[in-house]
Amino acid sequence: MPKQKLVFVCSNCGNESAKWQGKCPGCHEWNTLFEQTVKAVKPTARRSPLANSPLALSEIKIDAGSERTGLGMGEVDRVLGGGLVAGSLTLIGGEPGIGKSTLLLQIAALMAAKSTTPVLYVSGEETRPQIKMRAARLGIAGEKLFLLNETDLDTIISEMEQLSPSMVIIDSIQTVYTADLEMAPGGVSQVRECAARLVTWAKATQIPVMIAGHVTKDGAIAGPRLLEHIVDAVLYLEGEPFSSYRVLRSVKNRYGSVNEVGIFEMKTGGLCEVQNPSEVFLSRDRQHPIGSAVVPVLEGSRPLLVEIQALTNATSFGQPRRTANGLDFGRLLIITAVLSRRAYLKLGNQDVIASVTGGLHVAEPAADLAAAIAIASSYKNISVDPHLIAIGEVGLSGEIRNVPQLERRLSEAARLGFTKALVPAAARAKAPCADFTLVHVRDVKQALAAALTGQRETEPDAE
């Protein structure tokens, strides 16, 4: 009978220790080690399914089955780098209720419709009638889409080998367990062991596998962070609770770029691709925008026009507050300090609130100038030209620094009807069309003078 041993596993990073410690030696978090009993598995002498003899690189042949397979959903294929690679294990993570199961079911239906072999959808969270109800709402018939309700990994692998599907989807990895480990499903060791076996099976059969994983803030259930070193690709489905838009973002991809994003809108019929994402993040009415500026940001290879809004108000407390929604809080502090010191705006007694419309998170410094203009517009209560965009990084001395791929950003702005752009003085980009004007600015003061040319609505409280 296999022996048992006692280990202490960190619920945050999965590190195992032979004895209890107050601080995890792996992630250095306090009070995250929990006692677990592990059954020692006796190793066997059989060869691994991936074991083979060394082969020269020039002798390796790439067959047609090793190429990428498009899923039929352009936004997902974009994030994956063109489609699924044979034998890959892809993890889609996200908070509960964000739409992971809906997206995976839509992907399974598209693959089943275009493939000659069936697609297997394994669910440990929902019964087959419940999945059928969701499929009916999404308009999925699913003649070659097979459903399996199972959580035992050995049984799942046995069914996969008998069916020989073109693709396998497991929803979710936290519900799958193996009998070799005497731990509850969702534990750190269970998740890690099950993912490792699925990787081995996918590589041996050259069948792509997609798994779903929940993300929780309290760390009670092992999330996708534990699996990032095991799987081939990690995708996160993000979105604000109050918004119908979802962003599929890649944080790891062994076969493609990690900078691409896919944008969807949650509707009654499921997740629908957004064909023109720039219009999603812009306000419908931009006749006389006060405290608002537009900037083209790059999400991978795609330029997106987003609107940054700002509001300044005399603080009611001794310490003024700075609030950032969709912007990096550290960048907001820098921009506010530069405006106070270099542009002589008296923001020391003002609460400054900055937000990106549409629920998108903007991290690149190219949005600094637009945020500065939005803050100054709100403080002075002067409208900004609705046909103006602002691109540039703000330095600590107030200078406007250049940004990469400026011409692509300008072309996207011209396509959506913008006719004027504030760009860094060092930029060498050309105007995308004849009626498009480029205004080169050296510093923040010059940029504010060029941007704030509208009418003053009312006198602000600070003046």
Query: Residues 342, 444: one domain?
Result: yes
Answer yes or no: is 290 within a domain. Answer: yes
Average pLDDT of the segment spanning 430-458: 88
Whose CA is closest to 191, among 43, 47, 36? 36
Give me the DSSP letters along 362-396: B-SGGGHHHHHHHHHHHHHTBB--TTEEE--EEPT
Residue 359 pLDDT level (bands cut at 50, 70, 90)? confident
Give the domain-ending residue among 275, 302, 332. 275
Tell me which DSSP letter residue 284 carries: S
Q: What's this model's pTM, rounded to 2 decimal places?
A: 0.77
CB 379 within 8 A of CB 456: no
CB 213 within 8 A of CB 91: yes
H or E stretch covering 142: none
Residue 434 has pLDDT above 60, yes or no: yes
Answer yes or no: is 45 within a domain. Answer: no
The stretches of 391-443 forming alpha helices (DSSP H) are 406-415
Residue 261 has pLDDT above 90, yes or no: no
Instruction: Calculate what percentage of the chain has a pLDDT beyond 90.
Output: 55
Answer yes or no: is 111 within a domain. Answer: yes
Residue 327: CATH number of its domain: 3.30.230.10
The pLDDT of residue 220 is 40
* pLDDT tens digits along 226-258: 678 889 999 989 887 677 888 898 889 998 888
- Distances in Å between the alpha carbon of 53 and those of 45, 66, 248, 394? 17, 20, 39, 56
CB 418 within 8 A of CB 433: no
Task: Please indicate whether residue 114 or residue 183 has the higher confidence score (pLDDT).
Answer: 114
CB 362 within 8 A of CB 297: yes
Residue 45 pLDDT level (bands cut at 50, 70, 90)? very low
Would you give the end-to-end CA distance of the chain in angstroms?
Answer: 82
Query: Residues 325, 436: one domain?
Result: yes
Answer yes or no: is 143 within a domain. Answer: yes
Query: Residues 266, 284: one domain?
Result: no
Backbone angles phi, psi at 267, to 5 degrees: -125, -175
Answer yes or no: is 457 within a domain. Answer: no
Q: What total of structural domains would you count in the chain?
A: 3
Backbone angles phi, psi at 408, to 5 degrees: -70, -40
Query: Residues 270, 325: one domain?
Result: no
Backbone angles phi, psi at 208, to 5 degrees: -70, 145
Q: What is the mean pLDDT of the chain?
A: 86
Answer yes or no: is 57 within a domain. Answer: no
Question: From the annotation, which residues make up the binding site?
Answer: 94-101
Answer yes or no: is 416 within a domain. Answer: yes
Answer yes or no: is 60 within a domain. Answer: no
Tell me which DSSP letter residue 399 carries: B
What is the residue range of 447's domain?
280-451
- Distances in Å between the alpha carbon of 287 and those of 65, 292, 385, 406? 54, 11, 8, 26
**Within 10 A of 273 (CB to CB), how many other CB atoms are there?**
14
**Spatial distance between the Cα atoms of 441 and 426, rounded to a whole number of angstroms:** 9
Give the domain-ending residue among 275, 291, 317. 275
CA 338 to mean position of chain CA atoms: 30
* pLDDT tens digits along 64-117: 556 788 888 999 999 998 899 999 999 998 888 889 999 999 999 999 998 889
- Distances in Å between the alpha carbon of 91 and those of 168, 225, 233, 336? 12, 10, 6, 39
Query: Residues 173, 320: one domain?
Result: no
Whose CA is closest to 386, among 278, 260, 287? 287
Residue 453 pLDDT level (bands cut at 50, 70, 90)? confident
Question: From the annotation, which residues make up the binding site for ATP?
Answer: 94-101
Average pLDDT of the segment spanning 178-200: 84
**Spatial distance between the Cα atoms of 142 and 112, rounded to a whole number of angstroms:** 7
Greatest CA separation for the chain: 84
The pLDDT of residue 200 is 93
Contacts of 454 (CB under 8 A, 6+ apart): 288, 290, 382, 383, 384, 385
Give the dihedral of Cα atoms 272, 274, 280, 285; nearest 10 deg.
-90
Tell me which DSSP letter residue 445 carries: H
Residue 96: CATH number of its domain: 3.40.50.300
324 three-class SS: strand
Residue 1 has pLDDT above 80, yes or no: no
Task: Please indicate whether residue 308 or residue 359 has the higher confidence score (pLDDT).
Answer: 308
